[in-house]
Chains A and B, each alone.
Chain A
Amino acid sequence: MSRRYSPKVVTANRLREGDVVYLTADDQWSPHHHEAELIEDEAHAQMRLLHASAQKLTVVGAYLADAKAGPNGPEPVHFREGFRARGPSNYAHGKQADLRS
């Protein structure tokens, strides 16, 4: 019996800046969670993770995080990923400030 694979995004921190980034379908690293590639197949996820982990001069600590489809693209599932996508809750620092347009 195979359980349904819960969808994933590939995420990491940028080597130089340390900020959180997501792997997009066209092989870019985006600071926006909703621009990430939502991966629904386990084998494909492993391949994308390998691809990400090989980029040793760009990112650190790549891993697969649970995500779900939303109206504007993938959304975090766990609250930890929510904080990574937004920034800390005590100050308007991190993405919530940097990405404000």
Chain B
Amino acid sequence: MYSYSDFDESFVRSRVAQFTQQVERRLDGSLTEEEFRPLRLMNGLYLQLHAYMLRVAIPYGTISPRQMRQLAYIADTWDKGYGHFTTRQNIQFNWPKLPDVPAILSALADVEMHAIQTSGNCVRNVTADHFAGAAADEIEDPRPYAELLRQWSTDHPEFQFLPRKFKIAITGAPNDRAVTRAHDIGLRMVRNAAGEPGFEVMVGGGLGRTPMIAHTVREFLPVADLLPYVEAVLSVYNILGRRDNKYKARIKITVHETGKEEITRMIEERFAELRPLFGGNDQRLLADIRAAFAPPAFRNAPTDAYDAFYKADAVFRAWADTNLAPHRNDQYAIVTISVKAHGQTPGDATSEQMRLMADLAERYGHSDLRISHEQNVILPHVHKSDLPALHAALTQVGLATANVGLISDIIACPGMDYCALATARSIPIATQIAERFKALDLEHDIGPLKIKISGCINACGHHHVGHIGILGLDRAGVENYQITLGGDGSETAAIGDKTGPGFAYDEIVPAVERIVRAYLAQRQGPEETFLMAFRRLGMDPFKAALYENEGAQDAA
């Protein structure tokens, strides 16, 4: 894992010292709120409905056991004993008090963590495939590139005041687990005809009020050209971006208004200017960073105990079938720990759970932990012979839910329960859907199905790319939920289509159930997933299931 250099260490410490003074000056009145607000946002501190919220970056989702324990310590000392993992591989603390924030930032710095650039119109935390460095389908570990981008973008003087926030996602595998096509820049590793690795560069994706799938501006970018090319994209955007209108300020609108051809031309032109200015230091730095991401020393041991247990124990088998993914070393597995027990808030982990996951990572997982954009925690390297013991330990603290990729593995943003921008709640919708399908005992039968819920048009819950997306709105002072179907965040990315009129708070769970029952009735077999069935059947049967009964009821 990457360790801070002396430069990183002193930079983060100096930012803590700087913000400590800013908080003091705010508390003694030398700074007004108008002056202080941008300063606190630069350090990840928001004011939400009931309290402040501190957003801490977990760069490319990678975190060590020691860091995880420190998050638990922060949760216990200055918050309410839990944290919320988000779709952007951050953790949010919902209850810090302003005078305590400097101490929290200092505790984070003690374990090489920070909240810098988790807000504001700058390059945000770079997100990556949560299976990076472990996945069987991976070309190369994308995290050294993500770390290079992080170092380059942190405090980059040209890009501190972009027209709007800027999000980069990167994956080293052809199967896109990082939703790269919904980011300002998406980077997907591919090989060229000569077999060399490089990046497909996608620009102008984004969700929010105008959802767009990114355009490919470069089919193949040699890895050595990464920084100058990304810098070219940023600098073209920095000039063209619509600073006059917040709703048109994201690069997706710039790409849309400029046209893909023209913007590609401008990026290439700028790239030609910038390329010679990169004299090779970036590549030397990259080589050092790469060394820090060397794979762990994999154990070579028999896996028969796992095979036997898998056959013998049905509960373990159900968990293994949903929560394990293929590792590049076939004696190993990638374990997803579901932080989505039915009825629990998606993405919330208690300090006790954090500490246990840290312990388990040390005992069984080569001390590596990941946070996924789907709000779960990953142990990327577990030897198969350790899986039964790991599963037993997880069961004891309620972390063995066998639902990864299923209907109750829901992404939900904080919504009206916490967020000052929300127009409706999202968390209780998620917990009710999960509990409903658990009561029906249908979720394993339904198979892979991604539900994603946002509490307003900003789409932090990725609802546009949910197979079933749910958007909470305020209709004349009442919560109302709009459904989209057919969204997809993978390499076959698509924005979901609206079904029609929305549903009231107490109608939305039955509505989802009608959709799912229509799918079960019409699928060609269990191997046809919800998304495949939707693509074959189109909207009509689902619309009928959603709305026809309603008409009948009205007529009755």
The residues of A with any CB-CB pair to B shorter than 8 Å are 13, 15-20, 56-57, 60-61, 77-80, 83-84, 87-91, 93-95
Contact = CB atoms under 8 A, between A and B. Distances in A.
Contacts of B479: 79
Given A15-B27, A17-B97, A79-B479, A90 B33 contact: no
B47 A94 contact: no
A83 B414 CA distance: 13
B50 A88 contact: yes
Contact of A89 (B29, B52, B427): B427
Contact of A15 (B96, B98, B417, B427): B98
Given A90-B431, A94-B51, A18 B98 contact: yes
B259 interface: no
Interface string B39-56: 000000001111110000
B519 interface: no
Contact of B50 (A16, A79, A87): A87
A78 to B, nearest CB: 6
B66 interface: no
Contacts of B27: 15-16, 57
B137 to A, nearest CB: 36
A16 B47 contact: no
B50 A84 contact: yes
B29 A56 contact: yes
Contact of B417 (A18, A57, A90): A90
Nearest to B32: A56
Contact of B97 (A16, A77, A93): A16
B425 A89 contact: yes
Contacts of B422: 80
A32 B418 CA distance: 18
B428 A78 contact: no
B416 interface: yes
Contacts of B52: 18
Nearest to B51: A18
A54 B265 CA distance: 52
Q: Which of B33, B50, B425 has the most CB of A within 10 A?
A: B50
B418 A88 contact: yes
Interface string B470-499: 000010011100000000000000000000
B140 to A, nearest CB: 40
A20 B33 contact: no
B209 interface: no
Most buried by B among A18, A84, A95: A18
B454 interface: no
Interface residues of B, number: 31
Nearest to B479: A79
B53 to A, nearest CB: 9
A72 B250 CA distance: 47
A20 B48 CA distance: 10
A13 B45 CA distance: 14
Which of A13, A83, A88 is the most central at the interface, judged by chain B CB atoms within 10 Å of its CB?
A88
Interface string B413-444: 00011100010010110010000000000000
20 contacts: A13-B47, A15-B26, A16-B27, A16-B98, A16-B99, A18-B51, A19-B51, A56-B29, A56-B32, A79-B416, A79-B479, A80-B416, A83-B417, A88-B49, A89-B417, A90-B431, A93-B50, A93-B80, A93-B95, A94-B51
Given A18-B50, A61-B33, 15 more contacts: A16-B27, A16-B98, A17-B51, A17-B98, A18-B98, A19-B50, A56-B29, A57-B27, A80-B49, A83-B49, A83-B417, A90-B417, A90-B427, A93-B80, A95-B50
Interface of B: 26-27, 29, 32-33, 47-52, 80, 94-99, 345, 416-418, 422, 425, 427-428, 431, 474, 477-479
Contacts of A15: 26-27, 33, 98
Contacts of A61: 33, 47
Would you list the 10 A-B pairs with minimal beta carbon distance, nearest first?
Answer: A88-B417, A18-B51, A18-B52, A94-B50, A90-B427, A90-B345, A57-B29, A16-B98, A60-B33, A17-B97
B427 to A, nearest CB: 5
A34 B550 CA distance: 40
A93 B32 CA distance: 29
Nearest to B348: A90
B143 to A, nearest CB: 33
Nearest to B26: A15
A78 B423 CA distance: 11
Nearest to B505: A79
A93 B440 CA distance: 30
A15 B26 CA distance: 9
B394 to A, nearest CB: 22
A79 B478 contact: yes
Contacts of A78: 477
A18 B50 CA distance: 7
Contacts of B26: 15
A19 B50 CA distance: 5
A35 to B, nearest CB: 18
A89 B427 CA distance: 8
Contacts of B98: 15-18
Contacts of A77: 477
Nearest to A77: B477
Contacts of A13: 47, 51
B411 to A, nearest CB: 15
B478 A20 contact: no
